[in-house]
Amino acid sequence: MSTIFSKIIAREIPARIVYEDDLCLAFHDVNPQAPTHILIIPKKEIPRVAATTAEDKALLGHLIHTAQTLAKNQGLHDSGFRLVINNGPDGGESVPHLHVHLLGGRALQWPPG
């Protein structure tokens, strides 16, 4: 399994990268649904959250904590933001490489899709 996200990690495809560390990469979504719409992905090729094991808990925590840190860096801590993980057909999963959506800069509606 190798997706467009693996190519972004390998710098084979360009992306507007905003953050990188040993475990994850973050970049702007090419089809933004809000003024700020960033994807946070693990460098490890995990297709979706349903494919994670107990061993991936630390990585999952790192992704979520990184997402909220990026929200702070984007000036969204006071105005607010939403984190979204899609899994499978009903979830609207687009790319089979686990990713966390960070959306902010407008009032997100309810229900969340």
Taking the C-alpha atoms of residue 108 and residue 79, their distance in angstroms, rounded to an integer, is 11
Using the rule CB under 8 A, is 68 a contact of a copy of itself? Answer: yes
Q: Does residue 22 touch a copy of itself according to CB under 8 A?
A: no
Give the C-alpha separation, 55 to 30, whole Å.
Answer: 31
> Least distance (Å) from a copy of itself to the CB of residue 67?
8
What is the rounded distance in angstroms from the CA atom of residue 81 to the CA atom of residue 64?
A: 13
Report the residue from 47, 62, 74, 96 that binds a copy of itself according to the rule CB under 8 A. 62
- Catalytic member of 28, 37, 99, 101: 99
**Residues contacting 64, CB < 8 A, separation 6+:** 83, 100
CB 11 within 8 A of CB 2: no
Q: Which is nearer to a copy of itself, 2 or 94 (CB)?
A: 94
Summarize as ranges the residues that interact with a copy of itself (CB under 8 A). 33-34, 49-50, 52, 54, 56-62, 64-65, 67-68, 71-72, 76-93, 101, 103-113
